[in-house]
Amino acid sequence: MPDFSLKPHTIHIGCDHAAVELKNAIISILEERGHAVIDHGTMTNDSVDYPDIAHDVCNSMEGQESTAGILLCGSGIGMSMAANRHPHIRAALCTSELHARLARRHNNANVLCMGARITGPEMARAILRVFLETDFEGGRHQRRIDKISL
């Protein structure tokens, strides 16, 4: 996976109705950093089914090494479960900067999941920054990644 911090790249983002406000704030941050953002919705607070959004984001990422994903819902749990059904996805539900650092460093996560009802905007910004700036260590961790990316 490419080093997210060195150059702008494409980020696919999606949310359910519980996280529209957080998604819009994150899109602004990403665009300020020069990333191309593809917004998979939802755009309103009208109820939607989170798996539909997660599958859309994950399907769009297939075969694209220079992409990352961000999925947001009320808790982040549903999005992470739906995303990890895709063999090329390593989605991590992060509620702290440490989670984000370890998800990237040890697990080579390519999708960041957060819960808008759990994580406030300032913490979400900090988590996002760490997720985008942390490199995968490889080495012994790659062997483990190979075992979950069958």
Per DSSP, 131 falls in state H
Q: Catalytic residue at 15?
A: no
Catalytic residue selected from 73, 86, 94, 113: 73
Which is the catalytic residue, given 9, 55, 88, 106? 106
Asked about 113 being catalytic, the answer comes back as: no
DSSP state of 12: E
Residues annotated as catalytic are: 73, 106
